[in-house]
């Protein structure tokens, strides 16, 4: 087991000869520092093998992570596999990771996936719901997670309706679809 301490931003700052704040800015807002500063900080990062802790940054900011949840019933179905492939490609282009959650049409498993995404403070979730209970979706929305419902109609007393129609009628923003 490796008991050696992992380098942190303080170590990077010392090696680069800059402040910790400058290291943070060079990593998180590189457009705000000079090219020379970026190169010095990057050289120190490379030499030390420093890896930013995005979870810690998320906790400090109190916001969403760079994680998107994808909750689908199965991966063997070509339709859902194509959705997963497209979501991963789009997320990658915007520097997001995708947490793939497969429900196998099991409500308990789906509930655990919703809880996991809430714990991760997922920035967004694309969901093929088993039974889209407003309570589960509201839990994610309450922490700021953006939700997109995919592929399912909701059977209501008024007949089958699309998720966007039902949620818009219930007062949810029209961006939820």
Domain boundaries, the chain: 9-52, 67-169
State the CATH class of domain 67-169.
Answer: alpha beta
pLDDT at 143: 78
pLDDT at 53: 72
Residue 2 has pLDDT above 80, yes or no: no
Tens-place pLDDT, residues 18-33:
999 999 899 888 899 9
Tens-place pLDDT, residues 121-164:
888 999 998 876 667 777 777 778 888 888 865 544 444 444 44
pLDDT at 41: 95
pLDDT at 125: 92
pLDDT at 176: 39
Tens-place pLDDT, residues 86-134:
999 999 998 899 999 999 999 889 989 988 888 888 889 999 988 766 6
Rg, Å, the chain Cα set: 21
Percent of the chain with pLDDT over 90: 43
Using 50, 70 and 90 to split pLDDT, how confident is the model at 40?
A: very high
Say if residue 149 is exposed, middle or buried (CB neighbours under 10 Å; 0-12, 13-18, 19+): buried
User: Do 120 and 58 meet the contact criterion of CB atoms below 8 Å apart?
Assistant: no
Residue 48 has pLDDT above 50, yes or no: yes
pLDDT at 130: 83
User: Do 161 and 103 meet the contact criterion of CB atoms below 8 Å apart?
Assistant: no
24 membership: H or E segment, kind and range? helix 20-28
């Amino acid at each position: 087991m490796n008991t050696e301490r992992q380098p942190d931003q303080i170590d990077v700052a010392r090696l680069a000869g800059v402040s910790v704040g400058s290291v943070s800015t060079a990593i998180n807002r590189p457009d705000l520092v000079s090219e020379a500063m970026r190169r010095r900080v990057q050289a120190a990062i490379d030499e030390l093998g420093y890896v930013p802790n995005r979870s810690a940054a998320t906790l400090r900011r109190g916001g969403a992570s760079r994680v998107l949840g994808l909750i689908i019933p199965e991966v063997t179905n070509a339709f859902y596999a194509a959705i997963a492939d497209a979501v991963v490609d789009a997320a990658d282009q915007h520097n997001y990771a995708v947490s793939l959650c497969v429900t196998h049409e099991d409500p308990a498993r789906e509930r655990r996936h919703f809880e996991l995404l809430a714990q991760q403070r997922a920035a967004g979730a694309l969901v093929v719901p088993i039974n889209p209970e407003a309570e589960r979706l509201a839990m994610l929305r309450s922490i700021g997670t953006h939700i997109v419902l995919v592929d399912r109609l909701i059977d209501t007393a008024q007949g089958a309706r699309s998720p966007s129609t039902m949620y818009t009628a219930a007062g949810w923003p029209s961006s939820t679809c």
